[in-house]
């Protein structure tokens, strides 16, 4: 499962470069970086919650 998630995120970024997904905040091709930023933020939250508990 942990190896599927990065592959899925990269696939989403490539697909967004080809044809924008049209989701809120992801309307232009140049917004593909937001997918990576969201993934990094999510990993940060998981690490912080894991160390707090």
Determine, yes or no, domain membership for 47. Answer: yes
**Does 3 reside within a domain?**
no
Whether 4 is in a domain gets the answer no
Mean pLDDT, to the nearest integer, of 1-29?
84
What was the pLDDT predicted at 2?
A: 65
- Position 25 in a domain: yes
Mean pLDDT (whole number) for 6-30:
87
Which range of residues forms the domain containing residue 17? 12-52
Q: What percent of the chain has pLDDT over 90?
A: 2
Q: Flag whether 2 is in a domain.
A: no
* pTM over cut 0.75: no
Cα within 13 Å of Cα(45), Cβ side: 6
The answer to whether residue 5 is domain-embedded is: no
Residue 48 lies in a domain: yes
Is it the case that residue 17 has pLDDT exceeding 70? yes
What is the number of domains present in the chain?
A: 1
Rounded Cα distance between 46 and 52, Å, is: 10
């Amino acid at each position: 499962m942990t190896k599927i998630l990065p592959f899925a995120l990269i696939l989403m970024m490539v697909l967004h470069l080809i044809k924008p997904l049209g989701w809120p905040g992801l309307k232009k091709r140049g917004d593909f970086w937001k997918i990576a930023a969201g993934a990094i933020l999510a990993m940060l939250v998981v690490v912080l919650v894991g160390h707090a508990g």
